[in-house]
Structure formats: structure tokens, C-alpha cells
Amino acid sequence: MTFMFKLLSPLLFFTLSEDKPPLKKKIPRCRKNMNPNQTVEDESHPSITAASRRIQCLSLHLTPLPPSQPSPQLNMLTCAKAANKLEVDKVSLSTYMRGKNRDIQEKIIEFFESRPDLQTPVGVSMNEHRELCMRQLVALVREAKIKPFRYVVDDPAKYFAITEAIGSIDVSLGIKLGVQFSLWGGSVLNLGTEKHRDKYFDGIDNLDYPGCFAMTELHHGSNVQGLQTTATFDPVTDEFIIDTPNDGAIKWWIGNAAVHGKFATVFAKLILPTHDSKKVSDMGVHAFIVPIRDSNTLQTLPGIEIHDCGHKVGLNGVDNGALRFRSVRIPRDNLLNRFGDVSQDGKYTSSLPTINKRFAAMLGELVGGRVGLAYASVGFLKISVTIAVRYSLLRQQFGPPEQPEVSILDYQSQQHKLMPMLASSYAFHFATQYLVQKYSEMKKMHDEQLVADVHALSAGLKAYVTSYTAKSLSTCREACGGHGYAAVNRFGSLRNDHDIFQTFEGDNTVLMQQVAADLLKQYKDKFQGGTLSVTWNYLRESMNTYLSQPNPIIARWESADHLRDPKFQLDAFRYRTSRLLQSVAAWLRKHSKTLGTFGAWNRCLNHLLLLAESHTESVILAKFIEAVHNCPDARSRAALKLVCDLYALDHIWNDIGTYRNVDYVAPNKAKAIHKLTEYLCFQVRNIAGELVDGFDLPASVTRAPIAMQSEAYAQYTHHIGF
């Protein structure tokens, strides 16, 4: 009691120093928590001051209840749990979540569970990890008979389901698989023609042709058009000559290059000779197949220099290397010529008229990497949230006097950390499912507008989801206290392995700028009568509504039914996006007059990033609402609706200043949103165990002792030798 009084003494000091008139005939809020045997003096008595009333309230909080009397707060908590907890059918929920590719994922997990020799030990060295990853990949393809490459184009949803399962076994293995089949193999399929497919498909599929994707250079990563590696055509020998003109053009961070790669798709400027011997024609960046090692001896081929990029923060099972080319000659047929070709006499032909159009078409075909990273990042989030929630349900600390200790997930602070994150896991799951669906349609239809839509959607979701997951991994580690710091409980390796997801396949800040640029283009097209792509339809349908003055009556509605109405939630998200879009367009017009286009863009960059983030959140919520509506099981639908409401209202509350600044939400409504968000956190906590069970992650995937469903502490102590 003395300790608690010392904690509150500063509050008492400031309370006693207030000089305010007494409030009359107002029952103190603390009365509802009073001991029935205690009384409160009549507030109308002139001798009762504001300060004395506050001291009396504090004394009621500080006075312990008799040992025989149970805590009313604990009783209230127990009653609320019993009365309001939803019934969740975990089987129906997981069936809805896992979808049609559940069988192949289970086959993969069962295969690795049966092979202890292929499981990655904690603390494995870099060299051992690299060799283990290669053995794991070979075993998957040649022993388990699972061939991911054939699904890259024909069934992308199945391919991404395979990569999710593989990544749950070992993240480095998942990335190595992606380099082999999605990047190296995907470049051959998507940028090449039938002759390349015929020559290389089987070797890529059965791992006879392990390969690399050599795009990034020491001086250029995001700016692909600035690459300096050259591929100069020699009409005399009918060959391209690949050169690294300076150190800045060394290919850097190339997966599979340091140890296992035999081929590389090399991105280089295509240079053609002209009639004037002093001049050449730069046709822009193209892709070329370049052998880098002897297929039998694995010795580096002449003219090629390879060095190991060494130990990294994470993903040390992937052998990243650096490549330099010195006049390496390759046949003309090694040009991946879907979007541009060179004849034997050196003439260039293309169905696309400009360098920029060819470049855009090339990158559009490589967007699958971003789709895969967004999808995989959700897998990281599910695993980390599952570990943190299960541990928080297990761990008990403190409690009311003379009462048992309570689960740390009963603390509001822990709920505030983890429950919105759990809601986001579900939201991102449905959003990335939608992304995979749109990507699959794109691969079948080859519609130009759909390609542009998927390009922007994948950029936004990859950037948003990976950034959120990176922050959440640290939050989950912290939420599990000291035990979260143990390597065996996985937060460290998950965080380190995932960290680079924010950078490769497009730096997140750059990708968000692409989303903002596309939004501005759509905004311009809207006012010129153009056609908007599917994801941006709401700009056409409701822009005028969103940009009109907020309805003062609706701005004050605060009932739970109204706040939990999907229309209110989605309208709020879209209103914010529309306001940001309109305002940034105006600022860009203003600043471009004095700063030019580039200067104006840089001046408005933070505003542009907020716009892209807001739009991406709107897409995520729309897909979540749609998924709730489509869920066939009533109990699962009710649980998903609860989680969706928390996701929406938590985001609105976190940006409540924006809504208050434009009077979209009145003060009373803002307060109601905050209260309801806290209540929904508590409600989601009641079914948190069932919700993480809905992810259907077996123990061989979570692997953390503190996340075990039974005897977690026993398994933890056994791990260290007891």
C-alpha cells in the first residue's frame, strides 16, 4: 500500500493544488467500485471541496477489500468473458482461411516432419546453412516430387501456396526456391519465347540448371533504367558481348551466385553498332541468359569473376554473390526476346515503339516477385502473432490481492499490442489472396489495364504489409518479455530474415511512390473522362461525395451499430484517401510552377507516401469486408466481423486527428470510437486462441517452445537440458 501511495503522490500533489469550486450533486465515478460498507458524504455540503472529494476517491481505490470478498473487477471480467464470448468453429474457420491448396501445403510440411536430417538447427553456420538449403530444395523436387516451376505461370495461386509452406520450414529455403523458380525461371518464361522455354524448362524444373537473377548493381538498385552493364551486339560472330564497364556496374546481392548458380539472367543495356563507327544505339535495358559456371565442374567460366557477399543480417542460407563480366560472349539466341529482338544483321525489332514502353512491359512481367513477398510476409506475421498470443495466454503475472495471478493477455496494454496485430493478420491474409487472384487473371488475360492495376496493387501491398510485419516482429518479441529473446523462440531469426523484405523486389518507399503516381494518373483521367482500373473505382463512383462537406449529423452519430457498419468504416477510409489525393494534386500544381516537376514531387513526398498508404489501407479493408460477407459459416463469419471491426476502428482512431481536423468526426464520436476500439480489443482477446488456431499452423511450423499448446514450459526447460 505504501508503494502504491508513493506512485500516486505526484497526482495527489497536483490534485490538492487545484483551486476549483466544488461540484454539486454529482456522484463520483469511483462510487461504482466502492465497498458497500463505505459511504460518500453529501457533495452538496459546503465543506466538501473538489480536492477532498478526489482524495476520498483515491482512498477508495487504495483501500484493500476484505480477504473474504472477491474483487468486483475480477468478477466483472469473468462475467463479461462468459456472457459475451463468441463460439468459434476452428475447423470451419481454418478451412475458409486455407482454401483449395491446403493439401499440397500439408504434404510439404509432412515431408519435412518425416526428415529430421532436413530440419534447420538453431545456430547453424552460414556455410552449413547454404548446403542444407540446397539439399532441402533438391529433396523437395526429386524426393517429394513437388515441382513448383510448372505452377509459376499456369497456376500462380498454387505456386504461392507452395512457397508459403516452404518458407515456414526455413525462410532461406523459401527465398532460394523463389530465386530458382520465380526469378531465374520466371524471367525465362516471362521475358523469353518458345525457344527459351524448350531449351531451359526441364533443367530449371528438375534443378539441373540452378540459376540467378542478376539485376541489382553496386550503384543501382531501384533505378533499373540506370543499370550500366552492357550487352554489345557483334554482327560478325552473331554474339552479344557482356561487359561490366566500371566497379559501380558489378552485379551485387545476386542470390544463388556465390556457390550454386550455373546460369544468370543478366539485365544489361542492349548496344547496337551503327553505320557511323563512332556511334552506337542504346536500345535500353534487356535480359540475357549468361552461363556463369561449368555444368559439370562448377568452375567459374572464362571472363566471369564471382565473389561471395558474405554473412548477412539474415537469410544466410542463401548464397548471395557479386558478378563482374569481362567481354563474355554469348549467342544471339540468349537474348530473352519477347519484347525486343535483334536479327543477324543487327536490326532491332519490337512490337513496342519506345524504350519506356518496353521497359514497363518487362517489369510488368516480373511483378510476381512482389506478389510473392507480400504473401510470404503475411506468413511471418501469422507465425509471430501465434507465438505471442499463445504465450500471452499461458503466461500469468500479478493479479488482485489474495487472488490467483492472471494471464498477461488480460492486461489492456498487452491486448492493445497484440489484438490489432491479430486483426491485421486476418486483413492482410484476405488482401494478399485477392492480389494473387488478380495476378493469376493477369497471367491468363494479358490485359494491359489489368497489368497496370496489378503492378500498382502489388507495389502497395508489398510495401505496406512488409513494413507492418517488420514492426510487428519487434512488438511480438517485446510482448513475450525475456523468453521472447531466446533464439529457440524464433523472434530474432524471424525478424532478421524478414528485414530485407522491405528492400528487395523494390524498396518500400519507392514502391509507395509508384502507388501515389498511379493514383494521380487515375485522378487526372477521372476528370478527363477516362476509364479507371478496378482497384480505383471508388474514385469515380464517390469522389464528389467524399470531397463534399461532412454531414454534421452523421459526424455526431456514435452508436455501436453505426460505428460497426462496414459502410461507415469504408467511407471513412476512402474519405481520407480522397482528401489526401485532392490536396496533394493541388500542392503539386502549385510547387511545380517554381520548383519544376522533380522538385515539386520531392517537396510533397511525405504527403504522397501518406496518400499511398491510405489508399492501400482502403483496399485492405474493402477486401476484408468482402471476405466477411462471403464466409459461409455463421460462427466464423461473426468472429471475422468482430476482427474486421477492430481492424477498421483501430485505424480510424490512430488517425483521428485527420478526421477531427475536417470535422468528419465530432468530439463525442471520436470518444465513442476510442471506447469501442478498447471494447473490441477485449472481445477479440476472448477468442484470441481460437483465432490463431484458425491459421492452422502445426507445431513444426511455429517451433517455439513458448507457443506449444501443452506443456510449453516443460518443452522449454527440456530444450536447455533439464
Residues with active-site annotation: 505
Burial-class residue 271 by CB neighbours within 10 Å (0-12, 13-18, 19+): middle
Place of cell 482528401: 579
What's the sign of the alpha-carbon dihedral 445, 446, 449, 455? positive
Q: Is 349 helix (H, G, I), strand (E, B) or coil?
A: strand
All residues at 6 or more sequence positions from 210 whose CB lies less than 8 Å from its CB, including other chains: 180, 184, 256, 260, 261, 262, 263
Identify whether the C-beta of residue 608 lies closer than 8 Å to the C-beta of residue 513: yes
- 227 CA to centre of own chain: 28
Distance in angstroms (rounded) separating the CA atoms of residues 380 and 498: 8
Is there a contact between 485 and 706 (Cβ–Cβ < 8 Å)?
no
- CA distances 692 to 8, 421, 432, 486, Å, are 38, 11, 18, 22
Per residue in 223-233, is it b (16+ CB within 10 Å) or e — as a string?
ebeebbbbbbb
628 Cβ neighbours under 8 A, 6+ residues apart: 566, 637, 640, 641, 644
Strand, coil or helix: what is 172? helix
Report CA dihedral (447, 614, 673, 420) to the nearest 10 degrees: 80
Instruction: Give the CA dihedral 560, 563, 564, 566, nearest 10 degrees.
Output: 160
Q: Cα(20)–Cα(344) distance, rounded to whole angstroms?
A: 93
How many Cβ atoms are within 10 Å of 695's Cβ, its own excluded?
23
- Interaxial angle between packed helices 566-603 and 508-527, expressed in degrees from 0 to 180 and rounded to the nearest 10: 100
Of 447, 374, 384, nearest in space to 695 by CA: 384
Beta partners for 306?
A: 323
Q: How far is Cα 221 from Cα 217, in angstroms, rounded to an integer?
A: 6
* Residue 248 marked as a ligand binder: no
Distance of CA 361 to the CA centre of its chain: 25
Nearest of 577, 164, 657, 621 to residue 423 by alpha carbon:
621
Helix (H) or strand (E) run with residue 336 in it: none
Assigned C-alpha cell, 127? 556455410
In three-state secondary structure terms, 177 is helix
Residue 255 is labelled as binding a ligand: yes
Q: Which DSSP symbol is given to 241?
A: E
Known binding positions for FAD:
216, 255
Known binding positions:
216, 255
